[in-house]
A and B are shown apart, each in its own frame.
Chain A
Amino acid sequence: MESPVPVASVTTDATGFRGWVSAFLQRHWRSIIVFIPFAWLAVFFLTPFFIVVKISLAESLIASPPFSKLLEWGDSILPSLNISADNYAYLWEDSLYVKTYLNSLKIASVSTLLCLLIGYPMAYGIIRTQGTARYVLLLLVMLPFWTSFLLRVYAWMGLLADQGTINDLLLWIGLIDKPIRLLYSELAVYIGIVYTYLPFMILPLYANMEKLDFSLNEAAADLGARPASVFTTVTLPMTWPGIVAGSLLVFIPATGEFVIPDLLGGGNVLMIGRVLSSEFNANHDWPVASAVAVALLFVLLIPMMLYHRVQSREANS
């Protein structure tokens, strides 16, 4: 993949400033192309991360608002190097945080599984459709992907409300005689996550299945495999990379999800994204919020690295 051409020396034919600029670009454009995005990410992605780590190691007491105190804290920490793991100890000792992490992981895992169960046959169904119809179906999956996430969550508020569509329907059928609590429950959070993240599952699966060679299925059937074993011995192993990519794309953001538990779960569903936000915005406890963020990142480190590996393997194949 590497570019085989050594950059040769360039003769400057034009003179003056423009000539100088053009010669400079000719000679250094590769370095420029590397430097600009690299510098951007170093400043706006890598540095913030270190700041979060640094603040998470500070003392809660000193770092409390207002803003100006941060500077004093910054000045005082340098000479004495006052690192404290108190915030992490606090997270570990307070059972609420541990519970919240576990609950987030549980909700994210179950939602991922549900997305897979719904998304896999859908992706497979789209692949098995021919011609323009397949294209239209794919477009129908893309459409929610492009529309506002927030509005799609909001749409479910109307469905799940006490006097919402689902309760109306159940009352009308006669299955229930008074509205049941759907909104502000864990069930609502599951529905919301599955609903909003379903395209993230279908699209990587589709991309993977698009490369499938269906004559393999026929070959397996020809060799005597029944449909069920064709699926488990041929289709499933071949679509594994798509399953892993799709699952991680749902699982990772779902774990840190904030909007869905806030709007559909109300205060009743513990999820770490919401705790982080309220720790920061409501309690103004920056060190603890930072520690929550670092711990969340730590929890997600393995799935994130896994995703990176899947992604780069896909890119290299």
Chain B
Amino acid sequence: MSAENQLTDFTDRPWLDPDARPFITLQGISKSFGSFKAVDNIDLDIYRGELFVLLGGSGCGKTTLLRMLAGFETPTAGTLSIDGADMSSTAPYERPVNMMFQSYALFPHMTVEKNVAYGLKRDGVKKAEIKQRVDEMLQMVELQDFRKRKPDQLSGGQRQRVALARALIKRPKVLLLDEPLGALDKRLREQTQFELMNLQDKLGTTFIVVTHDQEEAMTLATRIAVMDQGVFRQVGTPAEIYETPATRFIAGFIGSANMFDGSVEQQRGNLVSVRLNTGDLVISVEHDEPIANGTAVTVAVRPEKIRVSKQQPEPGTDNVMRGSVKEMAYLGRNSTLRVAIEGGQVLEVNSQNRYRARDGQHEFDWDDQVTVSFPPASAVLLTA
């Protein structure tokens, strides 16, 4: 992960470049509603051209943060600048920022065309230019044929595209998207995800997306900030957040993870042995930083990184545990098993269905005695 062994090509990862100038800077941003702290002392740099995702559950403060960027909420403390200009007390109608609302907020009394043209009209752009730019924009979102329709005569997907066109037509420096795909059904959502990414790539506009959907965040983002109770729990690329979660919270929040609580027995090189609190088990985990013996830690392993087998593992295999299948969910491509291991802990394990199940005969079944194992490199050692 360190930048030293890479050559200095930071075009896709400006946040690693010590010389890069951030495009959006938040410093100590807080927002309280009465005694409730919605956003609590947040610092963040976002770079030009990023597709930055704010991910979190409802009430975590992500929408409040977005609304502060748009100018609908005034921060209680802290400063906010976009492209070098301080925006802390700039009104929304004077910010170089546009927003796509969760409800789309299309003006119901205006046609598609008028909705899209609205922002340009307010800027006093000449009529001919408005017409040309609206044409271009409608073409881009493939709504040329719907220009005279009112919003209530459009389908959900079409409305979403009008909202997008309306927000993009002013060529904002930053586009804010509040749950952009939340109102679409699953199939349309997956398709639209890629359309959104292509569009962002083509325009090079900085996108900031708010979502509660982690799959959506993983698909879209250059970087994700996981938010909880008004603070960032971790900021990083999707792979960083999934593969090296910083805390138990992140490991549990993104995807699912099996967590083993224990304490450090010894560290040899980058291998740490952890004695678990339950049962008489010692597991080894790769960990680069030095860690003192006796430290209370958690070992997190993703379900798909655990091998499950009915056979005895070859000698020398690391982290082997015996157990029995307690529950099984057949998902087609793979199956999710719940395996109770010695000591009583139940692990979630994914098993690829490499063979066709016939007559209800699966590779694994209830109460099968199995062994599970994972290499030390597949697990993460967490201290928080």
- What's the dominant secondary structure at chain A's contact region? loop
| Contact code string A86-98 (vs B, CB < 8 Å = 1, else 0) | 0000000000000
Which of B89-97, B150-158, B271-279 faces chain A? B89-97
Q: How far is the CA of A267 from the CA of B92 in the complex (A)?
A: 66
A8 at the interface (CB under 8 A from B): yes
A4 contacts B73, CB within 8 Å? yes
- What's the dominant secondary structure at chain B's contact region? loop
A6 contacts B89, CB within 8 Å? yes
A4 contacts B94, CB within 8 Å? no
Q: How far is the CA of A5 from the CA of B93 in the complex (A)?
A: 10
B74 contacts A6, CB within 8 Å? yes
B330 at the interface (CB under 8 A from A): no
Q: How far is the CA of A4 from the CA of B72 in the complex (A)?
A: 6
CB distance from B148 to the nearest CB of A (A): 30
CB distance from A182 to the nearest CB of B (A): 54
B92 neighbours in A (Cβ, 8 Å): 5
B89 neighbours in A (Cβ, 8 Å): 6
| Contact code string B84-105 (vs A, CB < 8 Å = 1, else 0) | 0000010110100000000000
Query: Which of B72, B74, B89, B91 has the largest count of A CB atoms less than 10 A from its CB?
Result: B91
A8 neighbours in B (Cβ, 8 Å): 91, 94
Closest to B89 in A: A6
CB distance from A30 to the nearest CB of B (A): 14
CB distance from B225 to the nearest CB of A (A): 23
Q: How far is the CA of A234 from the CA of B91 in the complex (A)?
A: 48
CB distance from B240 to the nearest CB of A (A): 35
B91 neighbours in A (Cβ, 8 Å): 5-6, 8
CB distance from A2 to the nearest CB of B (A): 11
Q: How far is the CA of A300 from the CA of B74 in the complex (A)?
A: 44
Closest to B70 in A: A4
A4 neighbours in B (Cβ, 8 Å): 72-74
CB distance from B86 to the nearest CB of A (A): 15
| Contact code string A209-234 (vs B, CB < 8 Å = 1, else 0) | 00000000000000000000000000
Q: How far is the CA of A55 from the CA of B73 in the complex (A)?
A: 51
CB distance from B16 to the nearest CB of A (A): 36
CB distance from A29 to the nearest CB of B (A): 15
Q: How far is the CA of A85 from the CA of B73 in the complex (A)?
A: 55
A6 neighbours in B (Cβ, 8 Å): 74, 89, 91
Interchain Cβ contacts under 8 Å between A and B, 5 examples:
A5-B71, A5-B72, A5-B92, A6-B74, A6-B91
- In the complex, the 8 A-B pairs of residues with the closest C-beta atoms, listed nearest first: A8-B91, A4-B72, A5-B91, A4-B73, A6-B91, A5-B92, A8-B94, A6-B74
Known: A4-B73, A5-B91, A8-B94. 9 other contacts (CB 8 A): A4-B72, A4-B74, A5-B71, A5-B72, A5-B92, A6-B74, A6-B89, A6-B91, A8-B91
The interface of chain A, by Cβ under 8 A from chain B, is: 4-6, 8
The interface of chain B, by Cβ under 8 A from chain A, is: 71-74, 89, 91-92, 94
